[in-house]
Amino acid sequence: MEFEFQSLKKRHALAILSWRYPAPYDVYNFAPETHQADLRYLIDPKNAFFAILNRQGELEGYCSFGADGQVPGGNYSAQALDLGMGIRPDLVGQGRGKAYVLAVARYGTQRYQTRQLRVTIAAFNQRAQRVWQKLGFEPVETFEKIEDGESSGKKFIVMIGRV
């Protein structure tokens, strides 16, 4: 699979905001009441969001590089490029995760001239963890997300690797 990466445009962000994942992945759904703020955040260039387009120019996913990939409560002191990503719900679970992850990791390393990459994944998301592990990423920390200054009870795993 070949993908093209573009800075996220308003039309891409509007599509992403409408995506709906089934439980337990519904935690990745954007809340309708925050769509305007989320739209501004997604298309703000300083947040480094990119559209993942297929050969036909159709939106298949999105990714981010930098602070957006971090979750409050994690230890991000090691030098690494943080990655975040989401795939269109109808394409999830079809065995294409490795292709998406590899494309995002390669794009990030080329664009930001780095080799050390880091992802933070919800602990329940075993599917995503397996995909990153297949590329040689290893877990380095498990932690609980901090919300409003306190532990939320939501567990996350930080993984580091190179592509």
Per residue in 64-109, pLDDT tens? Answer: 999 999 999 999 999 999 999 999 999 999 999 999 999 999 999 9
d(C-alpha 20, C-alpha 32), whole Å: 11
| Residue 50: predicted pLDDT | 98
pLDDT above 70: residue 1: no
d(C-alpha 126, C-alpha 64), whole Å: 21
| Residue 102: predicted pLDDT | 96
Count other C-beta atoms under 10 Å from residue 122's C-beta: 18
Cα–Cα distances (Å) from 8 to 95, 106, 155, in that order, read 25, 18, 29
| Residue 80: predicted pLDDT | 97
Per residue in 104-117, pLDDT tens? Answer: 999 999 999 999 99
State the average pLDDT for the chain: 96
pLDDT above 90: residue 163: no
| Residue 10: predicted pLDDT | 98
d(C-alpha 140, C-alpha 145), whole Å: 16
Identify the CA nearest to 121 among candidates 74, 87, 89: 74
End-to-end Cα separation, the chain, in angstroms: 17
| Contact predicate 48/64, CB 8 Å | yes
pLDDT above 70: residue 56: yes
Q: Got the DSSP string for the chain? A: ---EEEEPPHHHHHHHHH--PPTTGGGGSPPGGGHHHHHHHHH-GGG-EEEEE-TTS-EEEEEEESGGG--TTS---S--EEEEEEE-GGGTTSS-HHHHHHHHHHHHHHHHT--EEEEEEETT-HHHHHHHHHTT-EEEEEEEEEETTEEEEEEEEEEEEE-
